[in-house]
Structure 1
Amino acid sequence: MANSFNQTYIHYVFSTKHRKPLIKPDFEKRLWAYIAGIGKHNGFHIITSGGMPDHAHILLELSKTITISQTIQKIKGNSSKWINDEFYPNREFSWQAGYGAFSIGRSGLKHAIRYIQNQKKHHEQKTLKEEFLDLLNKYNVDYDERYLWD
């Protein structure tokens, strides 16, 4: 083939370091917009993003030129620098080292978008730990719970 084609959707889930509630309501919408800009600048399309004070969900269409791990590295690295520059001059904000990355088929996009956009309601009944374990189990990911939490 003369061209390369890609249609890979990834749902990332990652938390603030030690799950500290540092994503404040007064700047969270700016954060999601900033993350969309990171995607645009790096060749991947952020479909939607959202989360809670202690974690983030990002749904995106993966670039055909960078890997899953490079993508999240760009998102986390650039956004944590921006958050610290804008809101935490003592540099107290950081993301956890790990992340979850779950592939979503095109037919599952609407459900994933609703899921991410309804995080506040969703977390009235479920903690981040319960949510993350549910995602790991839903996608049949092998894990040892001793190594999930920092």
Structure 2
Amino acid sequence: MPQSLANMIVHLVFSTRDREAWFADAEKMNSVHAYLGGVSATLECPSIAIGGVADHVHILARMSRTISLAEWVKELKRASTVWMQKEWPEFATFHWQAGYGAFSVSQSNTDAVVEYVHHQAEHHRTKTFQDEFRALLKKHGVAWDERYVWD
């Protein structure tokens, strides 16, 4: 086959360090989501949906064939941190958490995950980030050690 083709959809989730509510301002949160979408597109990982609440973000995207998952996440976090710290002086000490969760999504389940990502505010009226993240890990069969998940 002379051509390489792929359709790998990834649901990426990561928090601010110590789950601090840096994005309580909806305008700033929307700006951060838009910026993350732009960075992701530049990395040839077009976003399908981006959402979140004050302390974390969800990105549903199609992975590029030319970048690893770890490189994609590293650059999303690096570029967005630099941009936020430059854009808003009060973000001078902002950091994302060190880790992340990445989960594969089938094409047939993409619409459901889009809805999930877009309705984060409603979802988090009753569930913390930690509870949500644990549920995602369980749903996707990921083993974890509670001592090393949070920072």
Q: TM-score range by the shorter chain?
A: over 0.9
% identical aligned pairs = 37
In 2: Cα distance, 1:109 partner to 1:71 partner: 20
Residue identity matched to 1:76: K
Residue 79 (structure 1) aligns with: 80
Please tell me the root mean square deviation across aligned C-alpha atoms, in Å: 1.1
**TM-score when normalising by structure 1:** 0.96
Give runs of ≥4 in structure 1 deviating > 2 Å.
none
Task: Please name the residue that 1:4 is paired with.
Answer: 4
SS class of match (2:21): coil
Hey, what does 1:59 align to over in structure 2?
Answer: 60
Structure 1: gaps spanning 5 or more residues: none
Q: Could you tell me which amino acid in structure 1 is paired with residue 102 of structure 2?
A: A
State the match for 2:14 in structure 1: 14
The one-letter amino acid paired with 1:17 is R
* TM-score, structure 2 normalization: 0.95
Q: Distance in 2 between matches of 1:113 and 1:22?
A: 23
Q: Distance in 1 between matches of 2:91 and 2:140?
A: 38
Q: For 1:60 and 1:50, how far apart are their aligned partners in 2?
A: 12
**8 Å contact kept, 2:84–2:91:** no
Give the whole-Å Cα distance in 1 for the aligned partners of 2:78 and 2:104. Answer: 22
Structure 2 residue matching 1:26: 3-state secondary structure:
helix
Q: How many residues align?
A: 150
Structure-1 residue corresponding to 2:137: 136
1:101-134, Cα deviation, whole Å (9 max, x unpaired): 0000001100100000000000001000100000
Q: Distance in 2 between matches of 1:90 and 1:10?
A: 28
Q: CA deviation at 1:88?
A: 3.1
**SS at structure 1 position matched to 2:121:** helix
Change (3 A) 1:72 1:90: closer
